[in-house]
């Protein structure tokens, strides 16, 4: 059977990304259960999350070089294999240290999977066709964070916490079987020797920075451990930037940021991810801790975001070629500012209907903005630099999401809101809306003329040769 290489790459990447993002969200629901089952305090169980984030942060900066050196197809299948095997090991873990170790292995697979898969996707589709593929690519980004808490709650309450890992197995096996049979191969890109100094700086600086962002709100930003991790991470990343800009063959081509369109869309994407992921973090806390709703009720209230996101993507991808990215991005970001800001007014009498409605339109607006942003981001990046650009894009998005959660978690930690006083939640929602407003400002700086290759008629775009798809 001969399938379209484009369809194969799109299906493989979408399924892999959905599995990856879903795993990140369902685990959070199970933390209280893990604490009880292993007989350890909640602070210890947080290692299940941080181990994953740290190894993901180590693997992601190297993914561009690894994918170019060994071939995206091999790296993609190896990453899915590692993630799937680690999921099975997490499910059979008999102690917390075992579970933390296996989650660290999962993080390595995830850190390679998304950047390499996205690079394959953008190499498979010429610029004029990329807006169409964003209809698929945005689905896991929007659906998985909303569906994860609902599914995680049902699995933990109805079956066992181990099933939050076992559900990855059928997806992973299916992706491996399908990819092994149909995923097109391709020659490796010409790359230089591995940049060991750059890797060591990134592999220590980025995890330290991500760790400080992830746990700083709960542990206290003034605690010695968080201060050491945060300042050390920033110093190492500054050294990494200096080394990479001087290196003849750097691990990450930071000079790609000299491209105006790539730089602007990435900054917009970073702040939008901070506001969006931060909002997904806030809403369950408001509904459960602030208003006393059940976890299932909370999950169903946030799920409308995924439906709205799919609606927004379907509309914006059909308007993109005619209107261009700038006005679509600005309209979408304006919508998120209004809807997230509106959540600050939700109270006991209005939240049951207002939150689902606002979450729907938040998802719709976010999808309306992000599909054009992702399409335009690589419009002026050469095919040879696609892997590097994809790594940079995903690294910034990951850092943006973590920063958004850290910032809003800090607001809540300072304000200490509760059922009797929702002021802290209101301030946090206004802060999230402000992050989206910054994203709007960067959207306004995008020039449609720079993204012209992605706005050309699809019929005039040359087909990518099968041998070069991966």
Digit-coded pLDDT (tens) for 284-308: 778 877 888 876 677 778 778 888 8
Question: Which tens digits make up the pLDDT trace of 104-133?
Answer: 899 888 888 878 887 787 777 777 676 666
CATH H-level, domain 256-458: superfamily: MFS general substrate transporter like domains (1.20.1250.20)
Q: Burial of 234 by CB count in 10 Å (0-12 exposed, 13-18 middle, 19+ buried)?
A: middle
Q: Which residue has the higher pLDDT, 142 or 424?
A: 424
Q: Please give the pLDDT value at position 131.
A: 67
Helix (H, G, I), strand (E, B) or coil at 418: strand
Q: Please give the pLDDT value at position 463.
A: 34
Mean pLDDT (whole number) for 157-181? 86
Split at pLDDT 50, 70, 90, the class of 465 is very low
Q: Which residue has the higher pLDDT, 232 or 27?
A: 232
Q: Please give the pLDDT value at position 186.
A: 57
Q: How many CB atoms lie within 10 A of CB 462?
A: 7
41-45, 143-147, 393-397, 459-463: least confidently modelled range? 459-463
74-83, 85-94, 170-179, 245-254: least confidently modelled range? 245-254
Mean pLDDT (whole number) for 360-366? 92
Q: What is the pTM of this model?
A: 0.77
Question: Which tens digits make up the pLDDT trace of 21-47?
Answer: 777 777 766 766 777 788 876 556 767
What percentage of residues in the chain have a pLDDT greater than 70?
86
Split at pLDDT 50, 70, 90, the class of 431 is very high
Mean pLDDT (whole number) for 270-290? 85
Cα–Cα nearest to 110, from 206, 174, 16: 16
For 125, the token pair is: 């589709």
Cα–Cα nearest to 280, from 408, 397, 465, 375: 408
* Cα separation, 44 vs 394, whole angstroms: 28
Please give the mean pLDDT across all residues of the chain.
Answer: 81
The upper half-sphere exposure of residue 420, i.e. CA atoms within 13 Å in the direction of its Cβ, equals: 1
Q: Is the pLDDT of residue 467 over 50?
A: no
* Cα separation, 339 vs 44, whole angstroms: 36
Top mean-pLDDT range of 249-258, 365-374, 408-417: 365-374
232-236, 433-437, 451-455: least confidently modelled range? 451-455
Write out the DSSP string of 77-136: HHHHHHHHHHHHHHHT--SHHHHHHHHHHHHHHHHHHHHHHHHHHHHHS-GGGHHHHHHH
Q: Is the pLDDT of residue 71 over 70?
A: yes
């Amino acid at each position: 059977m001969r399938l379209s290489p484009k369809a194969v790459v799109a299906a493989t990447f979408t399924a892999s990304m959905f599995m990856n993002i879903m795993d990140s969200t369902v685990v959070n629901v199970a933390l209280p259960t893990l604490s009880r089952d292993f007989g350890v305090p909640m602070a210890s169980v947080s290692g299940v999350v941080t181990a994953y984030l740290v190894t993901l942060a180590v693997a992601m900066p190297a993914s561009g070089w690894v994918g170019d050196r060994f071939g995206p197809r091999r790296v993609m299948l190896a990453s899915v294999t590692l993630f799937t095997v680690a999921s099975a090991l997490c499910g059979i873990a008999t102690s917390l240290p075992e579970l933390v170790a296996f989650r660290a292995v999962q993080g390595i697979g995830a850190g390679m999977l998304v950047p390499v898969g996205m690079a394959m996707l953008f190499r498979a589709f010429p610029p004029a066709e990329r807006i169409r593929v964003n209809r698929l690519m945005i689905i896991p980004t929007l659906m998985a964070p909303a569906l994860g808490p609902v599914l995680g709650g049902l699995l933990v309450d109805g079956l066992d916490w181990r099933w939050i890992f076992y559900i990855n197995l059928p997806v992973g096996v299916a992706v491996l079987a399908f990819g092994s049979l149909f995923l097109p191969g391709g020659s490796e890109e010409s790359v230089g020797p591995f940049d060991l100094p750059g890797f060591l700086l990134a592999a220590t600086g980025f995890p330290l920075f991500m760790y400080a962002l992830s746990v700083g709100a709960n542990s206290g930003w003034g605690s010695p451990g968080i201060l050491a991790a945060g300042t050390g991470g920033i110093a190492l990343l500054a050294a990494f930037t200096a080394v990479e800009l001087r290196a003849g063959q750097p691990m990450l081509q930071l000079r790609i940021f000299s491209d105006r369109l790539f730089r602007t869309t990435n900054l917009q994407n970073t702040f939008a991810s901070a506001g969006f992921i931060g909002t997904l973090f806030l809403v369950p806390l408001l509904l459960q801790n602030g208003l006393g709703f059940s976890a299932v009720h909370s999950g169903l209230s946030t799920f409308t975001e995924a439906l709205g996101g799919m609606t927004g993507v379907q509309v914006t991808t059909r308007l993109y070629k005619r209107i261009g990215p700038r006005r679509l991005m600005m309209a979408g970001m304006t919508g998120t500012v209004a809807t997230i800001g509106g959540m600050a007014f939700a109270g006991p009498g209005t939240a049951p209907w207002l939150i689902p409605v606002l979450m729907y339109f938040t998802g719709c607006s976010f999808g309306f903005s992000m599909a054009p942003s992702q399409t335009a981001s690589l419009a002026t990046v050469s095919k040879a630099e696609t892997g590097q650009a994809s790594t940079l894009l995903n690294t910034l998005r990951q850092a943006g999401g973590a920063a958004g959660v850290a910032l809003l978690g800090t607001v809540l930690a300072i304000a200490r809101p509760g059922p009797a006083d929702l002021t802290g939640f209101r301030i946090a929602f206004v802060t999230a809306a402000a992050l989206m407003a910054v994203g709007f400002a960067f959207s306004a700086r995008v020039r449609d003329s720079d993204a012209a290759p992605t706005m050309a008629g699809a019929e005039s775009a040359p087909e990518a040769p099968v041998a070069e798809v991966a």
